[in-house]
Amino acid sequence: MYPGSLRILRAVLIASLVGVLGMGVVLRGWLAGLWAPPLGFSELRSAHSHLAFYGLVFPGAWWAWSRRGAQPPGPRLLGLYAIAVLASTIAFAIHGYSPVSIAGSTVVLGVWILWAFPRFRHLGARSWEGVAGPVVLASAIAIPAVAVLSSRDDPAAGAVVRAFLTWLLLGVAAPAALARAHAPAPAAWIVATATLGAGLALGPLPTLPTRALLAAEGVILALAGLASTSSTPIRIGWTVVGAGLVALGAGLLPSSYPVTLAGLHFAALGPVLVTLLRPRDSLLSGWSYLALVGTFSGAIAAPAFVGGVAWPRISALVGFAVVCVWIVEAVWYARATRGLRGVSSPSMCFQENAPCET
Ligand code: HEM
């Protein structure tokens, strides 16, 4: 195990949390009419969403897998990855798609592929680890399609992006989180097929078979989450995510932008990120945090159902409260790890049930 990788991962995760949550608050306040910062909205939104996937989804998954004894990318590769994430985030925020953001994103994708390909060997086993192989491959194929469609201003580009985001969140981050929470794994190829179908259903191919796979993905996540060793609120969070996917698959919920954006924020800020980063008892694994994230996501989705209410202001205020919980947790975490220094070595942190489990 590489102790240097752990340090880089920790730095990337902390910096990305600060960046993603900070930009999220700025964007929400902007939509609520509270302020108008000097950068363009779509550039800042692009920086927010790319940093979330580059800096939280993959590093969070690597962090969680390293706690289960799997090797994260080595320190040199991770160092290169960190520089590429930083450069592309700054470039996205200032210029949107530009040579620097595209070059940085290419390095990021290269590291994802290098990490994901060896996972193919787990595809036939009952393992969460095998899901990442086909999912990252499909995402790598989707990227040139997005580039071509966007250059023609084709609205289909947005649908392919939705597929891509679904694949990475449900096929890379969610399996790593469930593995960290000791949820029993089905055969990886079954989860991979359901995940790929779910992305197609929410993206460019909403047909009967893909929607059935979307519903199947919901059932898999709900059952696995319930069987995990996480706190009861987090297990309920997984069930809500699963039920939402089943409802989308069955056509009981519209797969409109506010609804899918709300689902993404509920899953990411709720069970996925909390389980990836900190499975132990904490404010983040309690009922109040689940209620806050539920209210935040509800206010994002609400305009699809009820008009005329101050939903943007409500989601801005509750989103700020969500971020405050993370700040309190970060301060507690910093104090606790300072207290543990000298008691546990970085290599112990990679062992299951290690005293410095975070
Ligand atoms: C881990 C946490 C998060 C992830 C993974 C995430 C991810 C995303 C993604 C993928 C988008 C879509 C961008 C697009 O359509 O191009 C988005 C948009 C957005 N996010 Fe987040 N986000 C997170 C946290 C937050 C937080 C905490 C807030 C607010 C407090 C927030 C506020 C927003 C806003 C305002 C938008 C733009 C919505 C719109 O265009 O109508 N996000 N986020």
pLDDT of residue 235: 97
- 335: CB partners within 8 A, 6+ apart: none
| 3-state class (DSSP) for residue 176 | helix
CA of 46 from ligand 1 middle (Å) equals: 9
User: Does the C-beta of 56 come closer than 6 Å to ligand 1?
Assistant: yes
As to burial, measured by CB atoms within 10 angstroms (0-12 exposed, 13-18 middle, 19+ buried), residue 36 is exposed
pTM: 0.93
CATH fourth-level superfamily of 3-350: Cytochrome c oxidase-like, subunit I domain (1.20.210.10)
* Tens digit of each residue's pLDDT (9 = 90 or more) over 264-280: 999 999 999 999 997 56
User: Does the C-beta of 28 come closer than 6 Å to ligand 1?
Assistant: yes
Contact 41, 27 (CB under 8 A): yes
CA of 178 from ligand 1 middle (Å) equals: 23
Considering the chain, what is the average pLDDT of its residues? Answer: 91
* Tens digit of each residue's pLDDT (9 = 90 or more) over 208-266: 999 999 999 999 999 999 999 999 999 999 999 999 999 999 999 999 999 999 999 99
pLDDT of residue 358: 37
Using most ligand atoms within 8 A of CB, pick from 139, 168, 255, 261 the residue to mutate for ligand 1: 261
Q: Pick out the chain residues at pLDDT < 50.
A: 342-358
Look up tokens 């898999």; give the residue.
220
pLDDT of residue 340: 58
pLDDT of residue 339: 62
As to burial, measured by CB atoms within 10 angstroms (0-12 exposed, 13-18 middle, 19+ buried), residue 168 is buried
pLDDT of residue 341: 55
User: Does the C-beta of 267 come closer than 6 Å to ligand 1?
Assistant: no
Nearest-CA residue for atom 10 of ligand 1: 49
Under DSSP, the state recorded for 260 is H
Residue 322 CA: nearest ligand 1 atom is 27
Nearest-CA residue for atom 31 of ligand 1: 24
